[in-house]
A = this chain, B = another copy of it.
């Protein structure tokens, strides 16, 4: 074995020992409050990726879409056609707010979505619930962040994971979350005149 290879292997062995030691201290298990926020891409995609992962493990789960922009219908079709036995899918909004110009209807929709979310989360059979784009509804105060925070703290079953996505997550939500990822935009093809494309944006 060359000196270089040996040095590498020793370094990696050390890394492994350090990692194993750290991981051994992580023994807790609980349902997490997970937030995907930021201006970058991937907030919803990562949420859906986790839902498909849960489905793969046979975990019952549910999705509530707070905002429907005519896009992202792909995941819905796939879940409804192939996995409706294990994953409920509810689309409650009817378009981005700037598409509708009807504030009172938007508020009604957001509140109906939140009622459905609570029902799904309260049922402990649902091991993971994705509240897609709920942060948009919270940002416009269509639903009250204090209500959402109180519900998640007091009524979420111990082992249920809840994922909340959308930019501009409120501080109160980040405060109670266990896992928060900020998707930061580094580069976006819209800037180069590329339109929204199937498989990427919807």
- How many angstroms between the C-alpha atoms of A164 and B110 in the bound complex? 35
Asked whether, in the complex, the Cβ of B97 is within 8 Å of the Cβ of A196, the reply is: no
Chain A residues 23-81 with CB under 8 Å of chain B are: 23, 25-30, 32, 34-36, 38, 40-50, 52-57, 59, 72, 74-75, 77-78
Q: Which residues of B contact A36 (CB under 8 A)?
A: 42
Asked whether, in the complex, the Cβ of A53 is within 8 Å of the Cβ of B194, the reply is: no
Q: Which residues of B contact A38 (CB under 8 A)?
A: 184
- How many angstroms between the C-alpha atoms of A192 and B97 in the bound complex? 38
Q: Which residues of B contact A128 (CB under 8 A)?
A: 199
Picked from B26, B99, B182, the residue with its CB within 8 Å of the CB of A40 is: B182
- How many angstroms between the C-alpha atoms of A188 and B22 in the bound complex? 14
Tell me the count of chain A residues lying within 8 A, CB to CB, of chain B. Answer: 81
Interface residues of A, Cβ cutoff 8 Å to B? 5, 8-9, 12-13, 15-16, 19, 22-23, 25-30, 32, 34-36, 38, 40-50, 52-57, 59, 72, 74-75, 77-78, 82, 97-104, 127-128, 161, 174, 177-190, 192-200, 202
Picked from B161, B174, B193, the residue with its CB within 8 Å of the CB of A26 is: B193
Picked from B41, B98, B177, B184, the residue with its CB within 8 Å of the CB of A46 is: B41
Asked whether, in the complex, the Cβ of B19 is within 8 Å of the Cβ of A98, the reply is: yes
- How many angstroms between the C-alpha atoms of A41 and B198 in the bound complex? 24
Asked whether, in the complex, the Cβ of A98 is within 8 Å of the Cβ of B15, the reply is: yes
Whose C-beta in chain B lies nearest to the C-beta of A102?
Answer: B9
Picked from B15, B26, B101, B192, the residue with its CB within 8 Å of the CB of A194 is: B26
- How many angstroms between the C-alpha atoms of A82 and B197 in the bound complex? 25
Give me the 4 closest cross-chain CB pairs, A-B, nearest first: A45-B49, A42-B46, A56-B74, A49-B49
